[in-house]
Amino acid sequence: MRKLFFILLSLSLLSNYSCDDGDIITVELEFEDTFEACGESDLVLYKTKEDPSESLSVLITNYSLEDILEVGADNTFNEEKSATFYYRTYNDASLPNDLFCSEIPPNVNIVSDDNSACTAEINTILVEDDNDGILAQLEDINGNGDLEDDDTDGDGLPNYIDADDDGDNILTASENPDPNGDGDLSDAQDTDGDNIPDYLDNDDDGDGVLTRDEENDSQNNNPGNDITDSDVGADYLNPEVNTTVPATAYREHTIIRSYVVTITLFNIDDLGSISYDEYDFGILKDSEIPSTYKSRKITPDFN
Protein backbone atom coordinates (compact mmCIF):
# COMPACT_ATOMS: atom_id res chain seq x y z
CA MET A 1 0.00 0.00 0.00
CA ARG A 2 1.43 3.34 -0.97
CA LYS A 3 2.16 5.64 1.89
CA LEU A 4 0.09 8.78 1.55
CA PHE A 5 1.53 11.97 2.91
CA PHE A 6 -0.98 14.39 4.37
CA ILE A 7 0.69 17.74 5.16
CA LEU A 8 0.22 18.27 8.87
CA LEU A 9 1.93 21.60 9.49
CA SER A 10 0.61 23.74 12.31
CA LEU A 11 1.85 27.27 11.83
CA SER A 12 -1.19 28.89 13.44
CA LEU A 13 -0.40 32.32 12.03
CA LEU A 14 -3.91 33.75 12.17
CA SER A 15 -4.38 36.29 14.94
CA ASN A 16 -7.42 36.82 17.13
CA TYR A 17 -9.16 40.11 16.51
CA SER A 18 -11.64 41.34 19.11
CA CYS A 19 -14.37 43.91 19.13
CA ASP A 20 -14.79 46.19 22.10
CA ASP A 21 -17.30 43.77 23.59
CA GLY A 22 -14.87 40.86 23.36
CA ASP A 23 -16.66 38.99 20.54
CA ILE A 24 -14.43 37.20 18.04
CA ILE A 25 -14.61 38.46 14.46
CA THR A 26 -15.16 35.32 12.38
CA VAL A 27 -13.81 34.72 8.88
CA GLU A 28 -16.37 33.40 6.40
CA LEU A 29 -15.20 30.35 4.47
CA GLU A 30 -16.53 30.68 0.94
CA PHE A 31 -15.87 27.52 -1.07
CA GLU A 32 -17.73 25.38 -3.62
CA ASP A 33 -20.51 23.13 -2.34
CA THR A 34 -18.70 19.97 -3.44
CA PHE A 35 -15.60 18.28 -2.05
CA GLU A 36 -13.20 15.50 -3.06
CA ALA A 37 -11.79 12.55 -1.15
CA CYS A 38 -8.69 10.35 -1.05
CA GLY A 39 -6.80 8.02 1.26
CA GLU A 40 -6.71 4.27 1.68
CA SER A 41 -6.39 3.89 5.46
CA ASP A 42 -6.97 7.49 6.56
CA LEU A 43 -9.77 9.39 4.85
CA VAL A 44 -9.04 12.93 3.66
CA LEU A 45 -11.90 15.16 2.50
CA TYR A 46 -10.86 18.41 0.84
CA LYS A 47 -11.73 21.37 -1.31
CA THR A 48 -9.60 24.17 -2.74
CA LYS A 49 -10.07 27.61 -4.24
CA GLU A 50 -7.94 30.28 -5.91
CA ASP A 51 -7.89 34.06 -5.77
CA PRO A 52 -7.01 33.83 -2.96
CA SER A 53 -5.50 30.32 -2.81
CA GLU A 54 -6.97 28.45 0.14
CA SER A 55 -7.90 24.94 1.12
CA LEU A 56 -10.18 23.22 3.59
CA SER A 57 -9.59 19.61 4.55
CA VAL A 58 -10.80 17.06 7.05
CA LEU A 59 -8.76 14.10 8.26
CA ILE A 60 -10.52 11.03 9.71
CA THR A 61 -7.98 8.43 10.76
CA ASN A 62 -8.47 4.67 10.39
CA TYR A 63 -11.34 5.23 8.00
CA SER A 64 -11.94 4.90 4.27
CA LEU A 65 -14.28 6.04 1.53
CA GLU A 66 -15.61 2.51 1.25
CA ASP A 67 -16.71 2.71 4.90
CA ILE A 68 -19.13 5.56 4.20
CA LEU A 69 -20.55 3.85 1.11
CA GLU A 70 -21.59 0.70 2.97
CA VAL A 71 -25.23 1.61 3.41
CA GLY A 72 -27.70 -0.44 5.42
CA ALA A 73 -30.85 -2.23 4.34
CA ASP A 74 -32.62 1.13 4.05
CA ASN A 75 -29.93 2.37 1.63
CA THR A 76 -28.68 4.99 4.08
CA PHE A 77 -25.63 5.46 6.27
CA ASN A 78 -25.14 7.86 9.18
CA GLU A 79 -22.22 8.12 11.55
CA GLU A 80 -20.31 10.66 13.62
CA LYS A 81 -16.53 10.49 13.71
CA SER A 82 -13.83 12.42 15.52
CA ALA A 83 -11.86 14.39 12.95
CA THR A 84 -9.36 17.18 12.43
CA PHE A 85 -10.26 20.23 10.37
CA TYR A 86 -7.56 22.20 8.51
CA TYR A 87 -7.69 25.65 6.97
CA ARG A 88 -4.68 26.71 4.90
CA THR A 89 -3.73 29.72 2.82
CA TYR A 90 -1.05 29.81 0.14
CA ASN A 91 1.15 32.29 -1.72
CA ASP A 92 0.73 30.31 -4.95
CA ALA A 93 -1.49 31.86 -7.62
CA SER A 94 -2.72 28.38 -8.51
CA LEU A 95 -2.72 25.08 -6.61
CA PRO A 96 -1.68 21.67 -7.98
CA ASN A 97 -4.27 18.94 -8.51
CA ASP A 98 -2.30 16.60 -6.25
CA LEU A 99 -2.27 18.94 -3.27
CA PHE A 100 -3.62 16.19 -1.02
CA CYS A 101 -2.78 12.51 -0.68
CA SER A 102 0.05 12.51 -3.21
CA GLU A 103 2.93 10.08 -2.78
CA ILE A 104 5.36 13.00 -2.89
CA PRO A 105 3.99 16.21 -1.34
CA PRO A 106 3.83 19.01 -3.95
CA ASN A 107 5.96 22.12 -3.60
CA VAL A 108 3.61 24.86 -2.39
CA ASN A 109 4.12 28.01 -0.36
CA ILE A 110 1.94 27.75 2.71
CA VAL A 111 1.25 31.07 4.41
CA SER A 112 -0.91 29.82 7.24
CA ASP A 113 -1.91 26.40 8.48
CA ASP A 114 -4.44 26.06 11.27
CA ASN A 115 -6.32 23.06 12.57
CA SER A 116 -9.03 22.21 15.03
CA ALA A 117 -10.47 19.05 16.45
CA CYS A 118 -14.09 18.62 15.38
CA THR A 119 -16.86 16.09 14.89
CA ALA A 120 -17.75 15.02 11.37
CA GLU A 121 -21.30 13.82 10.76
CA ILE A 122 -21.47 11.66 7.63
CA ASN A 123 -24.74 11.05 5.83
CA THR A 124 -24.99 8.80 2.80
CA ILE A 125 -28.07 8.06 0.69
CA LEU A 126 -28.05 5.45 -2.05
CA VAL A 127 -30.56 5.73 -4.89
CA GLU A 128 -30.98 2.82 -7.31
CA ASP A 129 -32.68 2.82 -10.70
CA ASP A 130 -33.00 0.49 -13.68
CA ASN A 131 -32.32 3.23 -16.25
CA ASP A 132 -35.16 1.91 -18.40
CA GLY A 133 -36.48 5.27 -19.58
CA ILE A 134 -39.30 5.42 -17.03
CA LEU A 135 -39.03 7.71 -14.02
CA ALA A 136 -39.07 5.72 -10.79
CA GLN A 137 -42.17 7.50 -9.49
CA LEU A 138 -44.06 6.38 -12.61
CA GLU A 139 -43.35 2.72 -11.78
CA ASP A 140 -45.72 2.84 -8.81
CA ILE A 141 -48.18 0.48 -10.48
CA ASN A 142 -50.19 -0.04 -7.29
CA GLY A 143 -50.51 3.71 -6.80
CA ASN A 144 -49.82 3.56 -3.07
CA GLY A 145 -46.56 5.50 -3.04
CA ASP A 146 -44.52 2.41 -2.16
CA LEU A 147 -42.22 1.38 -5.01
CA GLU A 148 -41.07 -1.76 -3.24
CA ASP A 149 -44.35 -3.66 -3.70
CA ASP A 150 -44.60 -3.15 -7.47
CA ASP A 151 -43.19 -6.30 -9.09
CA THR A 152 -45.12 -7.03 -12.28
CA ASP A 153 -43.26 -10.23 -13.21
CA GLY A 154 -42.79 -11.57 -9.67
CA ASP A 155 -39.04 -12.01 -10.10
CA GLY A 156 -38.21 -10.40 -6.76
CA LEU A 157 -37.09 -7.10 -8.27
CA PRO A 158 -39.44 -4.10 -7.87
CA ASN A 159 -40.18 -2.48 -11.20
CA TYR A 160 -38.09 0.63 -10.48
CA ILE A 161 -34.91 -1.49 -10.40
CA ASP A 162 -36.10 -4.15 -12.85
CA ALA A 163 -34.75 -3.56 -16.36
CA ASP A 164 -37.36 -6.04 -17.67
CA ASP A 165 -40.61 -5.24 -15.88
CA ASP A 166 -42.73 -7.99 -17.42
CA GLY A 167 -40.08 -10.73 -17.35
CA ASP A 168 -40.31 -11.44 -21.09
CA ASN A 169 -36.54 -11.11 -21.65
CA ILE A 170 -37.05 -7.98 -23.74
CA LEU A 171 -35.68 -5.02 -21.81
CA THR A 172 -38.25 -2.38 -20.91
CA ALA A 173 -36.15 0.32 -22.59
CA SER A 174 -36.53 -1.60 -25.88
CA GLU A 175 -40.32 -1.78 -25.63
CA ASN A 176 -40.97 1.95 -26.16
CA PRO A 177 -42.65 2.69 -22.82
CA ASP A 178 -42.45 6.44 -23.47
CA PRO A 179 -41.93 6.96 -27.22
CA ASN A 180 -41.69 10.76 -27.13
CA GLY A 181 -39.94 10.98 -23.75
CA ASP A 182 -42.49 13.35 -22.22
CA GLY A 183 -43.11 11.31 -19.04
CA ASP A 184 -46.65 10.42 -20.16
CA LEU A 185 -46.88 6.65 -20.55
CA SER A 186 -50.32 6.68 -22.13
CA ASP A 187 -48.73 6.38 -25.57
CA ALA A 188 -46.58 3.37 -24.65
CA GLN A 189 -46.21 0.78 -27.39
CA ASP A 190 -49.03 -1.82 -27.31
CA THR A 191 -48.44 -4.22 -30.19
CA ASP A 192 -51.52 -6.43 -29.75
CA GLY A 193 -53.86 -3.61 -28.70
CA ASP A 194 -54.96 -5.33 -25.48
CA ASN A 195 -54.53 -2.14 -23.42
CA ILE A 196 -51.50 -3.62 -21.71
CA PRO A 197 -48.35 -1.82 -22.87
CA ASP A 198 -45.63 -4.09 -24.22
CA TYR A 199 -43.29 -3.33 -21.32
CA LEU A 200 -45.88 -4.84 -18.94
CA ASP A 201 -47.22 -7.51 -21.32
CA ASN A 202 -45.61 -10.96 -21.27
CA ASP A 203 -47.21 -11.84 -24.65
CA ASP A 204 -46.61 -8.76 -26.76
CA ASP A 205 -48.19 -9.94 -30.01
CA GLY A 206 -51.12 -11.78 -28.40
CA ASP A 207 -50.45 -15.08 -30.17
CA GLY A 208 -50.77 -17.17 -27.02
CA VAL A 209 -47.04 -17.82 -26.71
CA LEU A 210 -45.13 -15.98 -24.03
CA THR A 211 -42.68 -13.52 -25.51
CA ARG A 212 -39.78 -15.09 -23.63
CA ASP A 213 -40.63 -18.47 -25.24
CA GLU A 214 -40.36 -17.20 -28.83
CA GLU A 215 -36.67 -18.02 -29.24
CA ASN A 216 -36.91 -19.93 -32.47
CA ASP A 217 -33.52 -19.11 -33.93
CA SER A 218 -31.07 -18.56 -31.06
CA GLN A 219 -31.70 -19.60 -27.47
CA ASN A 220 -29.85 -16.80 -25.69
CA ASN A 221 -32.52 -15.32 -23.39
CA ASN A 222 -33.21 -12.57 -25.93
CA PRO A 223 -36.23 -13.07 -28.25
CA GLY A 224 -35.37 -9.80 -29.94
CA ASN A 225 -32.93 -11.45 -32.31
CA ASP A 226 -35.21 -14.32 -33.37
CA ILE A 227 -36.68 -13.37 -36.75
CA THR A 228 -38.57 -15.72 -39.07
CA ASP A 229 -39.99 -13.03 -41.39
CA SER A 230 -37.64 -10.06 -41.84
CA ASP A 231 -40.47 -7.99 -43.32
CA VAL A 232 -42.43 -8.21 -40.05
CA GLY A 233 -39.59 -8.26 -37.54
CA ALA A 234 -38.90 -10.24 -34.39
CA ASP A 235 -41.13 -13.29 -33.86
CA TYR A 236 -42.32 -12.04 -30.47
CA LEU A 237 -44.04 -9.17 -32.30
CA ASN A 238 -45.34 -11.36 -35.17
CA PRO A 239 -48.67 -13.04 -34.31
CA GLU A 240 -48.27 -15.34 -37.35
CA VAL A 241 -45.33 -17.08 -35.68
CA ASN A 242 -46.21 -19.03 -32.54
CA THR A 243 -43.52 -21.66 -32.33
CA THR A 244 -42.68 -22.30 -28.69
CA VAL A 245 -39.14 -22.72 -27.34
CA PRO A 246 -39.46 -22.54 -23.55
CA ALA A 247 -37.13 -20.06 -21.85
CA THR A 248 -34.99 -21.39 -19.01
CA ALA A 249 -33.54 -18.22 -17.46
CA TYR A 250 -33.96 -14.47 -17.11
CA ARG A 251 -31.48 -12.00 -18.57
CA GLU A 252 -28.90 -10.42 -16.31
CA HIS A 253 -29.97 -7.02 -14.95
CA THR A 254 -27.75 -3.99 -14.35
CA ILE A 255 -28.96 -1.71 -11.58
CA ILE A 256 -27.55 1.83 -11.63
CA ARG A 257 -26.47 3.18 -8.24
CA SER A 258 -26.13 6.85 -7.26
CA TYR A 259 -24.68 7.97 -3.91
CA VAL A 260 -25.22 11.31 -2.20
CA VAL A 261 -22.65 11.81 0.58
CA THR A 262 -22.86 14.94 2.72
CA ILE A 263 -20.55 16.03 5.54
CA THR A 264 -21.40 18.40 8.37
CA LEU A 265 -18.72 19.51 10.85
CA PHE A 266 -19.39 20.52 14.44
CA ASN A 267 -17.43 22.48 17.06
CA ILE A 268 -14.64 24.05 15.02
CA ASP A 269 -13.23 26.47 17.56
CA ASP A 270 -9.41 26.41 17.71
CA LEU A 271 -8.65 28.47 14.59
CA GLY A 272 -8.36 31.96 16.00
CA SER A 273 -10.55 34.13 13.82
CA ILE A 274 -12.52 31.15 12.53
CA SER A 275 -15.17 29.54 14.68
CA TYR A 276 -18.15 27.41 13.69
CA ASP A 277 -20.56 25.51 15.88
CA GLU A 278 -21.78 23.86 12.68
CA TYR A 279 -20.28 23.97 9.19
CA ASP A 280 -21.75 22.39 6.05
CA PHE A 281 -18.70 20.92 4.31
CA GLY A 282 -20.74 19.96 1.26
CA ILE A 283 -21.46 17.04 -1.06
CA LEU A 284 -18.95 14.49 -2.31
CA LYS A 285 -18.35 14.80 -6.06
CA ASP A 286 -19.83 11.91 -8.04
CA SER A 287 -16.49 11.45 -9.78
CA GLU A 288 -14.99 10.39 -6.45
CA ILE A 289 -17.26 7.35 -6.15
CA PRO A 290 -15.36 4.21 -7.26
CA SER A 291 -16.77 2.70 -10.45
CA THR A 292 -17.30 -0.62 -8.64
CA TYR A 293 -20.01 1.08 -6.55
CA LYS A 294 -21.88 2.71 -9.42
CA SER A 295 -23.80 -0.38 -10.52
CA ARG A 296 -24.62 -3.88 -9.46
CA LYS A 297 -25.65 -6.89 -11.52
CA ILE A 298 -28.23 -9.51 -10.66
CA THR A 299 -29.94 -12.36 -12.47
CA PRO A 300 -33.30 -13.13 -10.85
CA ASP A 301 -34.27 -16.70 -10.09
CA PHE A 302 -36.30 -18.01 -13.02
CA ASN A 303 -39.97 -18.78 -12.50
Whole-angstrom distance, CA of residue 63 vs CA of residue 61: 5
N-to-C CA span, the chain: 46
pLDDT at 27: 59
Grade residue 231 by pLDDT with cuts at 50, 70 and 90. very high
Whether 1 has a pLDDT exceeding 90, the answer reads no
pLDDT in tens, 151-205: 999 999 999 999 999 999 999 999 999 999 999 999 999 999 999 999 999 999 9
Task: Kindly give, in sequence order, each residue whose CB lies less than 8 Å from that of residue 123, ignoring residues fewer than 6 positions away.
Answer: 76, 77, 78, 261, 262, 263, 264
Whether 67 has a pLDDT exceeding 90, the answer reads yes
pLDDT at 3: 38
The pTM of this model reads: 0.83
Q: What is the mean pLDDT of the chain?
A: 90
Domain positions in the chain: 34-127+258-293
Grade residue 20 by pLDDT with cuts at 50, 70 and 90. very low
Question: For residues 141 and 159, is the Cβ–Cβ distance under 8 A?
Answer: yes
